[in-house]
Structures are given as structure tokens and as C-alpha cells.
Amino acid sequence: MRHRVKVKKLNRSQGHYRATISSLAGALIEHKQIKTTLAKAKELRPYIEKLITHAKTDDVHKRRVVYRKLKNRQLIFELFTVIGPQNADRDGGYTRILKLGKRRGDGTEMAIIQLLGFEAFDQASAKKKTAKKKTVKEDKPLLKIEDDKAAVEEKSTSPKEEVVEEKESVEEEVVATDQEATAEPIAVSDSDESTVAAEEISEAEVKVEEKEVKAEQKSDEEPKADSDSSDDKEKKANDEK
């Protein structure tokens, strides 16, 4: 039976209990406000208030007493230079516990424990945290959406569509090569120009010779036609006689 035992063990051994309370006290000194279970907050309140009472008088003995509990020089410096002088005129009651209700899952009572006189510090730190969370949340969904779109496009492309796309790309390459061939001027050397001129001259001479041959043939055919017509006339005259 735990008669007249004020300390709750929190289902921990003695060493585990001391380590838990010490770490919670260090977090509260650093951040000025923490969120934890209601049972831990109630156990932390007398522990941290005794440390703050020691921090009101800054001497070597008090620092050594607090160092046995926290074992962190930065926390001791914060406690004796900031929190202690802030509560020099306050006789106890350095903390506040705000109940938050039950937690999802196991239904544990949650609470916020904070140091009095540091509400502005808590609000500024909370605003910074929310601003960081917003920037991270605004950046991440865009990346996820782009990745999802790319994945959906890759899945939606069937093998038939891939074949069609390959054909279209090949046709585009062929058209591009044809355009380049027509657009690029052909470099002709002097020897090639001379050979082309000689071929044109020979073709012109051949055409002239063909015209002369045709003219001679026509001239030969005309007298033959005249002789044939005279012979026909003579035959008709003889027939009439």
C-alpha cells in the first residue's frame, strides 16, 4: 500500500522516473512551454518550481544544487540569468497547466505546462513553427502532384501509342532531312560547271541537226506529191477518152 506517498511513479523505475522528470524540466526551461500528459505535468510542476526558487539567488552553491538535477550548463545559464530574475518578485506559482482533453487512441489526458511571464516568447516561437510548417506543406504537395501526374502519364501510354509516336518521330526526321536537303545549296566546282556547259552545247547542236533533217525530208516529199498529182490527171484524161 502506498500510504502517504505523494510521488507517482508513472509506471517507471526510480532511475527512469528521475531521467524523465529531468528531461521534461530541461525542455520546459529551453522552450518555456511543452505539451505532455496531465500526470507528467503535475509531477513536473513541484520539481521545476523548486529549481526556479534556487535560481532566484545566483551563487555557486545554488548552481551546484541545480546542476545535480539537470546536468546541463546551458540550461543552468538560462535558468539563472533569464528565468530566475524574471520571477524574483513572485512567491511561488511559476508555472501554469492548461488541460487539452483526451488523446486519440488510448484516451490519455493531455495538458500544456508553461512558465508564467514568457507568453510572448511562446507565441513568437509558435508563429515561427507554423510558418515553417506552412512552407513545407505548400512545397511538398506540388512535388507529389507532379510525380503523380508523371506516373499516370507513363502508365496511360499503351504499346500501340508508343508505336504511333515512334512512327511520327521517324516521319518528322525524314521531313526534316528533306527540308535540309532542299534548303542547303549544292556546292558546284569549276570542273562540274564546264562539263555541264559542254553537255548543254552538245544537246543544242543535236537539236539543230534534227531540225535540218526534218526540213530536208519535207522538201523531198513536196515534189513527189506534185508528180503524183500530175500522173493522176493524165490517167483521168485517158479514161475519159
10 within 8 A of 19, measured Cβ to Cβ: no
Looking at the fold, whether 18 and 78 belong to one and the same domain comes out as yes
Residue 6 lies in a domain: no
Looking at the fold, whether 51 and 105 belong to one and the same domain comes out as yes
CATH of the domain at 20: 3.90.1030.10
Looking at the fold, whether 48 and 88 belong to one and the same domain comes out as yes
Residue 101 lies in a domain: yes
Taking phi first (over 0 means left), then psi (-120 to 50 degrees means alpha), and beta for anything else, what does residue 109 get?
beta
Looking at the fold, whether 128 and 216 belong to one and the same domain comes out as no
Residue 3 lies in a domain: no
3-class secondary structure for 107-175? Answer: CCEEEEEEECCCHHHHHHHHHHHHHHHHHHHHHHHHHHHHHHHHHHHHHHCCHHHHHHHHHHHHHHHHH
**Rounded to an integer, what distance in angstroms lies between the CA atom of residue 17 and that of residue 114?**
21
Domain extent at residue 151 = 119-184
pLDDT truncated to tens, each residue of the chain (241 aa)?
A: 889 888 888 999 999 999 999 999 999 999 999 999 999 999 999 999 999 999 999 999 999 999 999 999 999 999 999 999 999 999 999 999 999 999 999 999 999 999 998 886 656 666 666 666 666 555 555 455 566 666 666 655 555 555 566 667 767 776 677 666 565 554 545 555 667 667 777 777 777 788 788 777 777 666 555 555 666 666 766 776 5
Residue 168 lies in a domain: yes
Considering the entire predicted model, what is its pTM? 0.51
Number of domains in the chain: 3
Residue 7 lies in a domain: no
Looking at the fold, whether 37 and 95 belong to one and the same domain comes out as yes
DSSP letter assigned to residue 82: I
